[in-house]
Amino acid sequence: SSFVVGLTGGIGSGKSTVAGLFVEHGAALVDTDAIAHELTGPDGAAMAQLVAAFGPQVARPDGAMDRAAMRRLVFADPSAKAGLETILHPLIRQLSAERCRAATAPYVILAVPLLVESGSYRERCDRVLVVDCPESLQIERVVARNGMSPVEVEAIMATQASREQRLAVADDIVLNDGDLTGIYPQVIALHQKYLVLSAEKVK
Ligand code: ATP
């Protein structure tokens, strides 16, 4: 597909939930988080480089990245995080671009949690769709889902763009501040709009 909708939002905003609804309507989904997991899964394409950079202790016996070991490394040496990203990010960028190109659906939802924070993904998107919700709800959902403490969730949110910064770059918004029935009609309306826009782009 040549029409790419970048989907983003803060932690716990509902990105995966909203992306799943677009897929039900026939959109293709390219998810950079899922790609990162593939690359670091059993014998993933990043594993040889990760082992070369950080040592065999970052690989589990099945060849997947040992996430706990990697967290310990990053905790002990914050520069390890940059090293990890230097290996993963180019691979994620390349693979996500290939999959967007190969998709045959009318348009692609390109899910990128840190889209607003990273210019290179924004450039590739025909539109930016932000899943928005009050910060109090983000915290509530992540606490309920992961059993994290509110303070831990707030610490992650502090490393991400603010709600205002995200809304400032949004072309479209799904407001996910209630139950699921609130987002269905919003997704349907945007799906119709993306079908029209993608057809116009092809012409
Ligand atoms: P993350 O950034 O942490 O990956 P996300 O933005 O992809 O999160 P989801 O995983 O879609 O967010 O949603 C976070 C949690 O909140 C999930 O447990 C999800 O089921 C729940 N949730 C999302 N939207 C709603 C809603 N409108 N009503 C009830 N629960 C919701």
pLDDT tens, position by position, 108-162: 999 999 999 888 899 999 999 999 999 999 999 999 998 999 999 999 999 999 9
Nearest-atom index, ligand 1, CA of 141: 16
How many angstroms separate the CA atoms of 51 and 128, rounded? 35
Q: Are 160 and 10 in contact (CB under 8 A)?
A: yes
**Which tokens hold the place of 146?**
């992961």
Nearest-atom index, ligand 1, CA of 13: 6
Delimit the CATH 3.40.50.300 region(s) of the chain.
Answer: 1-27+107-203
Q: Are 27 and 97 in contact (CB under 8 A)?
A: no
Q: Are 22 and 131 in contact (CB under 8 A)?
A: no
Nearest-atom index, ligand 1, CA of 180: 27
Residue 13 annotated in ligand binding: yes
Query: What's the whole-model pTM score?
Result: 0.94
- Taking CB atoms within 8 Å and a gap of at least 24, the contacts of 147-153 are 153/11, 153/12
141 alpha carbon – ligand 1 mean position (Å): 6
Q: What is the ipTM of this complex?
A: 0.97
Q: Under 8 Å CB-to-CB from 187, ≥6 apart: which residues?
A: 18, 21, 22, 25, 174
Whether ligand 1 lies within 6 angstroms of the CB of 118 is answered as: no
How many angstroms separate the CA atoms of 30 and 35, rounded? 8
Residue 79 annotated in ligand binding: no
Pick the CATH number of 1-27+107-203 from 3.10.290.10, 3.40.50.300, 3.40.50.1820, 3.90.950.10: 3.40.50.300
Whether ligand 1 lies within 6 angstroms of the CB of 7 is answered as: no
The count of C-alpha atoms lying within 13 angstroms of the C-alpha of 172, restricted to the half-sphere facing its C-beta, is: 21
How many angstroms separate the CA atoms of 131 and 13, rounded? 6
pLDDT tens, position by position, 34-59: 999 999 999 899 999 999 999 999 99
